[in-house]
Amino acid sequence: MKEKVYYGKEIEVMFNSDVCIHSGICVKGLPGVFDLSKRPWVSPDADTAEAIAQHIDTCPSGALTYRLLDDNFSTKKEDEHA
């Protein structure tokens, strides 16, 4: 599995080139974030984490995934065990 991670301040974007079906939805929908002419081609800080996450949800193959770096979520989970 060839997965790459692109680190942003509020979101981490993971891309698995093995499962990408090259639909182009990512680059057409958010060209400021997903730009194949740039290196790296994913800029996780070029839009809000929410907008990027919502757009990644439309990736038809699951090649793009993300992890929101929202402390509230993990803190809440930890609090449950406190």
- Residues of the shown chain interacting with ligand SF4 in the complex, contacts defined by CB under 6 A: 20-26, 59-61, 63-64
- Closest CB 6 distance from ligand SF4, rounded Å: 12
In the chain, DSSP assigns E strands to 3-7, 11-16, 64-68
| Min dist. Cβ of residue 73 to ligand SF4 (A) | 24
User: At closest approach, how far in Å is the CB of 56 from ligand SF4?
Assistant: 8
Peptide bond between residue 44 and the one before it cis (omega within 30 degrees of 0): no
Of 45, 37, 43, the C-alpha closest to 15 is 43
Instruction: Return the number of the residue (22 or 76) whose C-beta is nearest ligand SF4.
Output: 22
Cross-strand partners of 67: 12
Nearest to ligand SF4 of 60, 74 (CB atom): 60
